[in-house]
Amino acid sequence: MNSFGRIFRISIFGESHGQGLGVVVDGCQPGIKITADDFLYDIARRNPIETGTTPRKEKDIPELVSGIFNDFTTGAPLMILFRNEDVQSAGYDKYKDIPRPGHADFVASKKYKGFNDYRGGGMFSGRLTLPLIAAGVIAKKIIAPVNINAKLISASGTENIEEAIKQAEIDKDSIGGIVECIAENVPVGLGEPFFDGVESLISHIIFSIPGVKAIEFGAGTKSAEMKGSEFNDVYISSDGKTKTNYAGGVSGRLTNGNDLILRVTFRPPSSIGKPQSTLNFAAGKVEELEVKGRHDVCFARRTPVIVEASVAIALADMNLIHNSQFKINN
């Protein structure tokens, strides 16, 4: 569905070219100071202001509709709304019969029997990450002093990101990338075995971000090439700190007090300037399609703040679950 979390629960709504989109946050305790200005920095980090991103420009001003009074959370569900203004929907009608390769046009039409809003990708658009970021701003306040930082570490297999993006633009193509995220000051013991371990819950919400194809923690896939004597993180202090951190801050599906380290792989955006072949379902034949519109060459460069928000949301929920359990048990 469109909700995530057990106690800190978020529900995303809206479409790319609809009137607006937003998020409802439930389980947020009263007394947290929040103003519209608190959202602006992270929203700006997502905005397309760099080479290789979409020319679509939205104001993205957060409207705090409910759950806040006199700049403090009330304990009621908190609703944040964003209006869509820079919308150009002309040309999307043809994708009902001629689905774009790599996009959700075909599967969405089948699942929703043709009633889905296909303009700009509808509910499957990367624009739906905007309310996710808004929820992340609140989550970051809840989990303080946990500090989360993410950055794009490579694109198209190289650390020379700018050059890779420029070449993709020249080629009228697109590229993917890898984002590394590190969360510091994470308390020991977050996560719930068996199925709700920290890696499971973070992976769940990370894979909700459009374009994600893989995630790994710590040494990740390289751990398959290591021996146990190499991989094991040796304890060096009573607070659980280890000499190395190949486990990425997770032991037995629980946070272990070391930095939580993960890397997220994003595929290339599906909309490219090159003509592609696809099936015209109405005509029953394969034909050439050239996708028009405003699209990212490398959407991955806009995603570090989205990854941060997703990790914060998952940690906020795990933290509240952990605290509520031990309050009851004690």
**pLDDT band, very low/low/confident/very high, at 43 (cuts 50, 70, 90):** very high
pLDDT in tens, 247-297: 999 999 999 999 999 999 999 999 898 899 999 988 899 998 888 766 789
**pLDDT band, very low/low/confident/very high, at 83 (cuts 50, 70, 90):** very high
The residue to which tokens 């459009």 are assigned: 210
My answer on whether omega of the bond before 145 falls inside 30° of 0, hence cis, is yes
Question: What's the mean per-residue pLDDT of the chain?
Answer: 92
Q: And the tokens for 4?
A: 């995530």
DSSP 209: S
212: β partners: 266
Residue 225: Cβ within 10 Å count? 9
Rg of the chain (C-alpha set): 21
Q: And the tokens for 304?
A: 């570090």
Angle between helices 304-329 and 129-143 (to 10 degrees): 50
Average of per-residue pLDDT across 142-147: 98
Average of per-residue pLDDT across 128-135: 96
Q: Is the model's pLDDT at 96 over the cut of 80?
A: no
Contact call for residues 312 and 278 (beta carbons, < 8 A): no
pLDDT at residue 168, as a whole number: 95
- Torsion region of 70: left, alpha or beta (phi above 0 gives left; psi -120 to 50 gives alpha): left
Average of per-residue pLDDT across 212-220: 99
CATH number at residue 97: 3.60.150.10
Strands 276-280, 250-251: pairing is unpaired
**pLDDT band, very low/low/confident/very high, at 91 (cuts 50, 70, 90):** low
State which amino acid sits at residue 242. T
Distance (Å, rounded) from C-alpha 39 to C-alpha 264?
23
Q: And the tokens for 120?
A: 């700009």
Distance (Å, rounded) from C-alpha 70 to C-alpha 65?
13
Selection from 198, 95, 92 nearest residue 143 by Cα: 198
Distance (Å, rounded) from C-alpha 278 to C-alpha 285?
8
My answer on whether omega of the bond before 8 falls inside 30° of 0, hence cis, is no
pLDDT in tens, 298-312: 999 999 999 999 999
Distance (Å, rounded) from C-alpha 92 to C-alpha 66?
34
Residue 185: Cβ within 10 Å count? 13
Task: Give me the phi and psi of 235, to 5 degrees please.
Answer: -70, 140
Average of per-residue pLDDT across 231-246: 97
Strands 63-66, 3-4: pairing is unpaired
Residues in the chain: 330
Q: And the tokens for 237?
A: 């202090």
Q: Is 190 helix (H, G, I), strand (E, B) or coil?
A: coil
Distance (Å, rounded) from C-alpha 48 to C-alpha 89?
19
DSSP 242: B
Q: And the tokens for 268?
A: 């290339």
Which residues span the domain enclosing 148?
Answer: 3-329
pLDDT at residue 89, as a whole number: 60
Distance (Å, rounded) from C-alpha 303 to C-alpha 279?
31
Distance (Å, rounded) from C-alpha 74 to C-alpha 72?
6
Q: How many domains does the chain have?
A: 1
Distance (Å, rounded) from C-alpha 169 to C-alpha 162?
11
pLDDT at residue 330, as a whole number: 45
- Check residues 95 and 107 and name the one with the higher pLDDT: 107
pLDDT at residue 173, as a whole number: 95
**CA 70 vs CA 31, 74, 309: distances in Å:** 10, 9, 25
